[in-house]
Structures are given as C-alpha cells and as structure tokens.
Amino acid sequence: MIKLFEKEKVIIGVVHLLALPGSPRFTSEEGLRRRALSDALALYHGGVDALLFENYGDVPFSPSRVEPHVIAFMTSIIEEVKREVPLPFGVNVLRNDATAALAIAAATGGEFIRVNVHTGARVAWEGIIQGRAHETLRYRERIGRGIKIFADVAVKHSSPLTSLSLEEEIASNVDRGLADAVILTGRATGEPPSVEELKRATLASEVPVIVGSGLSVENCAALLSIADAAIVGTSLKEGGKVSNPVSEERVKALMREVAKLR
C-alpha cells in the first residue's frame, strides 16, 4: 500500500508554477514564489490531502530533458513552500523529464513523481515523447528508492504512435514499467476521463487508478466512486480557469463532496 493511499479517495491539488526564469513567459521571481505559496496555502486550508508541483508555466515544454536551472528553481520553491505547508507532495517536470522530477523529489522529500509518458511513445505538441522507464527506475534505485512513480496512461494532449488498447497500455506501465499507480486523463487539461474508461482501467490495473484531469464538484461522485484518487487543478481555480489563482472556497466545496464518499 502506498502511504498516501492509506486514506480513501485521496485528492492531490496541483500547484501550477508560473513561468520559471529562462522561460518565454517569465515575469518576476518574486511573483512566481508568492503565487506558488499562496496557491499551496489555499489548497492546504481547503483540505486537500497532498500537493503536486509542476512547471506548468514553462511553455513551450521541452520534449525530454529540462535545463539544470529548472531543477534548481523548482527545488528552491518547493523547499520554501514546505516550510509553510505540511502536506505530502509530488513533482511533475513537464513535458516528460522523470529523472529531473526524481532529483527534485529526492532533494525535497517528495513522496511521488508524475510521468506523462513512462513506457512506449506518443505524439504531442512537443513532438514524439518517448518513455524511459528503464532509465527512470534505475535512477530511482540510485537516489530515491522510496519515491513512487505515478504514470499516465494515454495522457492528455497526445496521440498514440501505435494502436494499443487501454488495457495494454496499463499492462505496459505496470508490468514492464513497474509503475506504482496509473493516471487516466481526458483529452486535454480540465477534461475528465469517461466513466466507462475508468471502469476498464480499474478492472485492468493491479495498482491504484488516479483521475488525472477534469475532476470537479459536479462529477466527483461519479468518478471517485470508481477511482482511488484524483489530481485536481483547473476546477479549483478562480472561475474554473487554469491560469487563475487557487480559490480556497472552491477547494472546500470539492472536499465537502469528497467527504461524503469516504
């Protein structure tokens, strides 16, 4: 059992970092740090169970490795947030740098990482995204054996290179990629997976299944009656817009619905 999943229907709130220094949309380091802390505090006071930090503002994303300063700034920001927000957390380095995520998690005490393409390959806006499970798992052995790998299956904003069923993709990530949990998303940010897909995923998976996008007050009962957990970002923002700050009231409203399912 993953420690995080000792609680039922876990909600992981996303801290979407603004653009880091060196990114086209970067504006202010002070603003970047202030927003990260305020969003994390709103998620914490709203009642989420864990956080996920990701460099969401760094568009266009690197298709593979990020530059060293991305790792350095994310590590520094997470350490700053940790002093104020006592929640377990994970790291996602977009678009698909799992070793960078592991390095940050190992340095800051993160419990898990999210990997968008862990096995196989997919076509996305960034080009062909290739899984590097062999590399990720061996790197984890060296620097962070206890860190869990949450792997996306048919991840949003991408298309398959080969025709594989959902069940085959799950088997690839779990049996060959040794993922500790799998994540199911809709087609894009803020869009949920279908109830039918979630049912198929839970039947096929021997590890926890996480809703990776689109969970809201309106659909959480339907989705969380099937899934073990959810990663939630867009619906918790002011006005339900991903670029806005987190709304503590929206977080509380969601967690009230989640409490009914526990």
Cα–Cα separations (whole angstroms), residue 239 to 40, 55, 62, 214, 217 = 18, 21, 29, 14, 13
**How many whole angstroms separate alpha carbon 262 and alpha carbon 15?**
24
Among 221, 142, 210, residue whose Cα is nearest residue 174:
210
Q: Under a CB-based contact definition with an 8 Å cutoff, are residues 112 and 180 in contact? A: yes
Instruction: Please state which architecture CATH assigns to domain 3-259.
Output: Alpha-Beta Barrel (3.20)
| pLDDT tens, the chain, 262 aa long | 577 888 899 999 999 999 999 999 999 999 999 999 999 999 999 999 999 999 999 999 988 899 999 999 999 999 999 999 999 999 999 999 999 999 999 999 999 999 999 998 877 777 788 899 999 999 999 998 899 999 999 876 767 777 789 999 999 999 999 999 999 998 777 789 999 999 999 999 999 999 999 999 999 999 999 999 999 999 999 999 999 999 999 999 999 999 999 9
Q: How many CB atoms lie within 10 A of CB 83?
A: 8
In 3-state terms, what secondary structure has residue 112?
strand
Compute φ and ψ for 150, nearest 5 degrees.
-100, 115
